Amino acid sequence: MAQQPDYSDRPWLDPNATPFIRVQAITKKFGPFTAVDNVDLDIYRGELFCLLGGSGCGKTTLLRILAGFETPTIGTISIDGADMTSVPPYERPVNMMFQSYALFPHMTVERNVAYGLERDGIAKAEIAAQVNDMLSMVELTPFAKRKPHQLSGGQRQRVALARALVKRPKVLLLDEPLGALDKRLREQTQYELMNIQDRLGITFVVVTHDQEEAMTLSTRIAVMDVGRFVQIGTPTEIYEFPETRFVADFIGSTNMFEGRITENGADHVRVRAEEYEADFYIDHGMSIKEGTKVWVAVRPEKVEISKTAPPFGPNQLKGVVRDVGYLGNFSTYRVQLSNTRIVAVTHPNQRRPARGEHEVDWDDEVHLSWAASSAVVLTK
């Protein structure tokens, strides 16, 4: 008897799971401009789902549609089985944490957090207890009587989070939650956010333009461009198996080589890149007709750089180091090929170089190579 696979961490793979949030054929137009273009999306209970994209890609509009601030031109939204399409924001089981935090400047921290509960007509003692719980969770109890302008950026962010969570919404929407924080605080807050999400089990939908943030936070990422989803998948899928050049380029950096399929085997493809006078061999991927124009994408950290030539084979290029960036934990190289194209390579500095001497340095002639499994073939 085949064992039932465990989908509890990955409900999107479970064919029997019912989505918690269903976005169906949503289009939003502002005059002649289409902000969101016929998108479908299923998000499951307990997910931390990221909408990732550049500015103007429609991610914020989609979030605002989920919150109820915008009505979709076409399409429907349902949350936990209930149709939400025309439900006003104040009746949705959804709360939002705004990019600007939108704390009420004329109310104390306490009153800000209590505001949502007061609207629900809960008893005063009960409100006070819940507000206290929430403030202690975000470690703001000593600041309860302060006004927002008496807080630092990080504290304000946590007030905003507490205020949005205190009503125990079914879904929490976060618009660039870490955008206004500095780098150190951002990393710290990132993990706090994940812990809180884990503890409360609330489904999070996060909008961000920061791919690093999306990678660390989310269970799944939807990459958006011009109002559509380009790819939806786990961080690993998005990074290691991008489906288009846009995704490969948007998430991390990548080296792209244009070529044509010369051999379409059962478990591999061969690509000839005339411009580079190079052959590439990729031992995974789809079946693509011979002669098709494709792009071979290799991440900079998957490229080996060496001054000695590797044994003859595919996936090799030769060039001259034009730029070295020593970042301490790793170094970045910009290698110019004979056809003047630049290839980016990053290499961890596992060994401490002798004083003033690096293994690979400016103007060195180097060989670049990568394993057959490292690159991906993209058709669009």
Partner 1 sequence: MGKRTTFQFSVLCFGMAFLYVPMVLLIVYSFNYSKIVPVWGGWSTRWYTVLFESEEVWAALTLSLKIALMNATFATLLGVLAGIALARFGRFRGRTLFTGMISAPLVMPEVITGLSLLLLFITLGDLIGWPGERGITTITIAHITFSMAYVTVIIQSRLTGMAQDLEEAAMDLGSKPFRVLTDITLPLLAPGMLAGWLLAFTLSLDDLVIASFVSGPGANTLPMLIYSRVRLGLRPDINALATIIIVVVAIGVCIAGWLLFRQQRQRERDMQMAATENLKTGY
Is 151 near partner 1 (CB under 8 A)?
Answer: yes
Q: Is 150 near partner 1 (CB under 8 A)?
A: yes
Here's the x/- map for partner 1, 102-141, by CB under 8 A: it reads as xxxxx--------xx--xx------------------x--
The identity of residue 49, as a single letter, is F
Q: Which residue of 147, 209, 270, 334 would you call a contact of partner 1, by CB under 8 A?
A: 147
Minimum separation from the CB atom of position 111 to partner 1 (A): 10
The Cα–Cα gap between 241 and 156 comes to: 38
Site for partner 1 in 183-222 (CB under 8 A): 185
Determine, following the binding rule CB under 8 A, whether residue 31 of this chain makes contact with partner 1: no
Query: Residue 252, interface with partner 1 (CB under 8 A)?
Result: no
Q: Scanning the structure block, which residue is given the tokens 């080296």? A: 255
Q: For residues 260 and 280, what is the distance between their CA atoms, to the nearest angstrom?
A: 10
In Å, how far are 204, 284, 288, 290, 295 from 376, measured between CA atoms? 31, 8, 13, 16, 8
Identify the DSSP state of 152.
-
Residue 105 or 356 with smaller CB distance to partner 1: 105
Q: Residues near 16 by Cβ (< 8 Å), separated by ≥ 6?
A: none
Rounded least distance, CB 130 to partner 1, Å: 13
Residue closer to partner 1 by CB (options 30, 326) is 30
* 178 lines the binding site for partner 1 (CB under 8 A): no
- The H or E element containing residue 256 is strand 255-264
Report, in angstroms and rounded to the nearest whole number, the Rg of the chain calculated over CA atoms.
25
Three-state SS letters, 265-329: CCCCEEEEEHHHCEEEEECCCCCCCCCCEEEEEECHHHCEEECCCCCCCCCEEEEEEEEEEECCC
Quick one: tokens of 260? Answer: 């044509």
Chosen residue from 22, 28, 167, 220 binding partner 1 by CB under 8 A = 167
28 near partner 1, rule: CB under 8 A:
no
Q: Which is nearer to partner 1, 154 or 252 (CB)?
A: 154
CB of 246 to partner 1, least distance (A): 30
| Residue 351 near partner 1 by CB under 8 A | no
Could you tell me how many residues of this chain bind partner 1 (CB under 8 A)? 36
| Site residues (vs partner 1, CB under 8 A) | 67-69, 88-91, 94-96, 98-100, 102-106, 115-116, 119-120, 139, 147, 149-155, 158, 163-164, 167, 185
